[in-house]
Amino acid sequence: MIWDWAFAFEILPVLARAAIVSIEATLIGFALAASLGLVLAVVRIAVPWTGWTISVLVELIRSTPLLIQIFFLYFVFPKFGVVLDAFTAGVLAIGIHYAAYCSEVYRAGFDNIHRGQWEASVALNLSAWTTFRDIIIPQAIPPIVPALGNYLVALFKETPLLSAIAVLELMQTAKIIGSETFRYTEPMTLVGLFFLAMSLVSAALIRSLEGLLNRRTMR
Amino acid sequence: MGIRTLLAMLVVALVVIGALATQESYKVFMPGLLQGAVLTIEIAILGSLLAIVMGVLAALARMYGPAPLRWLATVYVEIFRGTSALVQLFWLFFVLPQFGVTLNAFLVAVLALGLNVGAYGSEVVRGAIQSVARGQWEACTALNMSRPQMLRRIILPQAFVAMIPPWGNLFIELLKSTALVSLITLSDLAFKAQQMNQNTFKTIPIFTLVLLMYLAMSLVVTIGMRLLERRASLGLARGKAA
């Protein structure tokens, strides 16, 4: 028998519990990516000589595999005396990886702000901090929310990589069920269906959010 | 980032790799890492070829195919974009044998990564074809061209230029996701890194070297695509230049 419904229903609660870990990793990872990405983008503009360093850093992070970065944090940091548990190391790696992508999105948002807005801020003698907080960020963020949303979905789809350092998320749990019962069809397919469902729902949400934001900013 | 900066980064990466590789204490694991890198490059190249084929086929099927073909292509794109590359890799590796289809790990790797990136690629192809100005289509109609003629002579050459940068990004994504194949027992660069790490415990030099090797491979792809883009756009007066 290729597909066993009884077995599928039996493992469903176990997988559902593991899905919570995947979602936790996504939310913490994305919070890190979104905030660190913003910091990188702001520092690049506000602090004169950092532009080049940050672009090389972003290029380095975007050009190397996330899996190796996860291994790097998990295996190399202990050699410097920083021992991270698997979940922390994995989420940190995912967060930093996506911060590099997010910083480019923020940068595009800042680039789209009219030059006159910056000049007006200088003319009004606003500090760099006030300019960003009150003038630039409120105008730059809403148009890029959908792009950030896409990275949230992409980040979510990377969480199975955490199984490589034995974090008990969805994929790792499915692998354990598979190796214990010698049935891979149901757990692997259910994991695939779960990701598919989450992706389709979030894609629909992002699309409606995009429509909402477009309507708000249309003048 | 400019092409000069990228070239400078590549040269620095290669010099550092070379300087490290010739050190006596690195001789233990360097041959293994190079073997792994060769497998990584093989999978990346074959996967990219499959991705291009799937991307073009799926895009054309969705835009011009009859209804059943259109649905099939849509289902393919949604499934492969909606789930993780790792899930797809594991599904093909563990579940397919239960349906009586047993593929070796190398074939599974090329298939999974090629199909995954091909699904994203089909959106790139579709977007590029749609981005060709409406006037071009209308002119073709006015000249009484057939649909294949329009596509081949007028639309695709222009769409091709618009496709190069996003395809470059996808090739980088594919190259990076080859690291996943280490999890289905293929001894690629990522697998060799872990193996050498367990054998020698020289964690810092090994993972630094491996990151630099992936960086060098990515930079070669980026620089190659930039050059191709420059060449392809020569004949076309695009955007501001027009």
Spatial CB neighbours of B126, under 8 Å, sequence gap ≥ 6: B59, B62, B63
For residue B5, give the chain A residue with the closest CA: A56
Eight-class DSSP state of B155: I
Instruction: Flag the least confident range among A33-37, A177-181, B199-203, B224-228.
Output: B199-203
Per-residue pLDDT tens digits for A67-87: 999 999 999 999 898 899 999
Contacts of A66 in chain B (CB under 8 A): 176, 179
Per-residue pLDDT tens digits for B53-90: 999 999 999 998 999 999 999 999 999 999 999 999 99
Per-residue model confidence (pLDDT) at position A217: 63
Predicted confidence band at A215 (pLDDT cuts at 50, 70, 90)? confident
Per-residue model confidence (pLDDT) at position A219: 47
Per-residue pLDDT tens digits for A115-160: 999 999 999 999 988 999 999 999 998 889 999 999 999 999 999 9
Per-residue model confidence (pLDDT) at position B240: 45
- Report the half-sphere exposure of A216 (CA within 13 A, side-chain side): 11
Please give the average per-residue pLDDT across A99-107, as a whole number. 96
Tell me how far CA of residue B99 lies from CA of A12, A182, A185, B53, B76, in angstroms.
22, 14, 9, 26, 19
Q: Are residues A175 and B83, on separate chains, in Cβ contact within 8 Å?
A: no
Chains A, B: CB contacts under 8 A, how many?
110
Predicted confidence band at A213 (pLDDT cuts at 50, 70, 90)? confident
Q: In this structure, are residues A62 and A128 in contact, taking their beta carbons and an 8 Å threshold?
A: no
Spatial CB neighbours of B220, under 8 Å, sequence gap ≥ 6: B10
Average pLDDT, chain A: 92
Domain range enclosing A125: 5-218
Share of chain A above pLDDT 70, in %: 98
Tell me the mean pLDDT per 10 residues along chain B, length 242.
92 93 84 95 98 96 94 96 95 91 94 97 95 92 92 90 95 97 94 92 91 96 95 68 42
d(CA B110, CA B115): 8
Per-residue model confidence (pLDDT) at position B25: 81
Chain A nearest-CA distance from B218, in A, is 6
Contacts of B90 in chain A (CB under 8 A): 171, 174-175, 184, 188
Per-residue model confidence (pLDDT) at position A218: 55
Helix ranges (H only) for chain B are 3-21, 30-64, 67-82, 85-90, 105-131, 134-142, 147-149, 156-177, 189-200, 203-232
Question: In the block, which residue shows the tokens 């990004």?
Answer: B169
Per-residue model confidence (pLDDT) at position B237: 57
Residues 50-89 of B with CB under 8 A from A: 78-79, 81-88
d(CA B210, CA A83): 21
Domains identified in chain A, total number: 1
Per-residue model confidence (pLDDT) at position A170: 95
Q: Are residues B83 and A195, on separate chains, in Cβ contact within 8 Å?
A: yes
Query: CB of B48 within 8 Å of any CB in chain A?
Result: no
Torsion B113-B223-B14-A48 (CA) sign: negative
Per-residue model confidence (pLDDT) at position B23: 85
Please give the average per-residue pLDDT across A85-114, as a whole number. 95
Contacts of A195 in chain B (CB under 8 A): 82-84, 87
Per-residue pLDDT tens digits for A2-22: 888 999 999 999 999 999 999
Task: Report the CATH number at residue A80.
Answer: 1.10.3720.10
Extract the tokens encoding A212. Answer: 């909402």
Residue A216 scores a pLDDT above 80: no
Per-residue model confidence (pLDDT) at position B108: 97
Give the ipTM of the model, two decimals please. Answer: 0.90
Per-residue model confidence (pLDDT) at position B242: 40
Per-residue model confidence (pLDDT) at position A1: 64
